[in-house]
Amino acid sequence: MAAPATAPPPPSDLRRIVAASLVGTTVEWYDFFLYGSAAALVFNKLFFPESDPLVGTLLSFLTYAVGFAARPVGALVFGHYGDRLGRKKLLVLSLLMMGAATFAIGLLPTHATIGSAAPVLLTVLRLVQGFALGGEWGGAVLLVSEHGDAKRRGFWASWPQTGAPAGQLLATGVLSALTAFMSESAFESWGWRIPFLLSGVLVILGLWIRLSVDESPVFKAALAQAEQRKADDSPAEKMPLVAVLRHHWRDVLIAMGARMAENISYYVITAFILVYATTSAELSKQTALNAVLIASAVHFAVIPLWGALSDRVGRRPVYLVGAIGVALWMFPFFMLIDSRSFGSLLLAVTVGLIFHGAMYAPQAAFFAEMFATRMRYSGASIGAQFSSVAAGAPAPLIATALLADFGSSTPISLYVIAAALLTVLAIVCAKETRSRDLTDVGPDGRKAAEPSTLPADAGTV
C-alpha cells in the first residue's frame, strides 16, 4: 500500500524552503570552490614552495582532490542518518562542519611558519570539507523535491543546484576583488585568508534560515508508515544502504554515469581554466577570474530555466542536450582561450557552463525520483558522490598533468569527450522519471509503480 500523497505547501512556505536549501548550498559551495580557486592561485606557493610552479600546482590540486575522496564517506553517513532521522537535522550539521573547516583554513600557518605540518593540516581540513559536502547535496535537493509538487519539481529542485554557481560567483568575486585592490605580495602574504574567514559570517546566515524550515512531509509520511509497521510487528526495515543496493543498484549506476560529464566538465571549465588561462594563454589572474565570475552569473540564471524545461519535456532530453553540447564544445572552448582575448575567454567559459547547466539543473529532481523515500537520501547521495571520486576529484589534476606532458589542450578535450560519452550511455539506459510520485512507495521500500502520465499542463511553471 502506497504512502498517502501529501499536498504541496503554500507558495510562501515553498519559497522559504527553497531559500533555506539555496543559502545553505551556496555557503557550502562557496567554501568548496574557494579552496579550488586558492589551490590554483596561491596554495602552490604557500604550502608547496619547494616544488617548481607546475608541480606545486599539481600537489595543490592533489589536496583539492582529497576533499572529493571524503565525499562518498559523507554520503554514506549522512545518507544513512538522513533516511532514519530526517533531512533537516543532517543539513544543519553539514553546514556547521563545512563552515568550521573553511574558517580554520583561514587561520592555518603556512609552510614558511611550521614546515611540512602545514600541508598536512590543510589536507585534514580539506577532508572535513569533503565529508560535509558529501552529506549536504542529497539533503538539500530532497528537502525541496519532497516539499514541492510533481508538476514543477524540476524547476523548484533546480534552485538548490544554483547554489553551485552562486558559491562559485561569491568565491570568485571575493578573490577577484582582493586581487584587484591588493598587491600580489599582500594577497599572498595575508589577503588570501580574508575569504576563508568570511565563511563564518555566511554560516551564521545559513543556519538562521535553515533552522526556520520544517521537515519534509514526504519523509514524515514514510516515517509514520515505518513506525506503524513496527507496531504491527512487521519485518524490520533494512538499513538504507542495504535497501539501496538491493532494490536500486541500477539507479545508482545510472546516477554515477550521469555525473561523469557534468562533474568533469565543470571542474575543467571553472578550476583548471585558471591554470590554463594564466600559463598556456598567458592571461592575467584577474582576467581569468573575471571571466569565470561573469560566466557563473549566467550559469546561475540558466539553471532554473533548464529545470523548468525538464518539467515540460522530461529529465532525459534536457540532460542529453547538456552532455552532447559539452562534448561538441570542448575543442572550440580551448581554441577560443588560445586567442588570448578576454571576450573569447568569456564566451568559452559561458557557453561551457550553459551546457553544464542543462545537465546540472534536472539532476536534482532526476536523482530524487529514482529512489524510494526511506532510502532516497542514501541512494541519491551515493549515486552523486561516489562518482565524484572518479570524475570531479581528479579532473583538474588530470587536466594539469595532460597539459604538462603533452603541452596541448587536445588530450584534455578528448578526456572530457570520453566522459560525455559515458554520460550519454547512462542517460540512454535510464527511465524517464518526470511524472513519478515521490510518495508512491511500497511496504518494502520499493517503488510501487512506474511513472504515470501527468496532465497536459504538467510542465507549466
- The grid cell for 244 is 539501496
Instruction: Report pLDDT digits (tens) over 402-411.
Output: 998 998 999 9
pLDDT of residue 445: 40
C-alpha span between 17 and 217 (Å, rounded): 12
pLDDT of residue 375: 80
Residue 427's Cβ-count burial label (10 Å; 0-12, 13-18, 19+) is buried
Q: What is the DSSP letter of 213?
A: S
Longest dimension (CA), the chain: 70
The residues of the chain scoring below 50 in pLDDT are 1-6, 441-461
Question: Of 429, 390, 421, 400, whose CA–CA distance to 264 is shortest?
Answer: 390
- The grid cell for 241 is 544502504
User: What number of CA atoms fall less than 13 Å from residue 53's CA on the CB side?
Assistant: 6
Dihedral (C-alpha) 380, 382, 388, 391: value to the nearest 10 degrees? Answer: -90
pLDDT of residue 442: 41
Query: 5, 439 in Cβ contact below 8 A?
Result: yes
Residue 235: count other Cβ atoms within 10 Å of its Cβ.
8
C-alpha span between 395 and 356 (Å, rounded): 15
C-alpha span between 176 and 286 (Å, rounded): 6
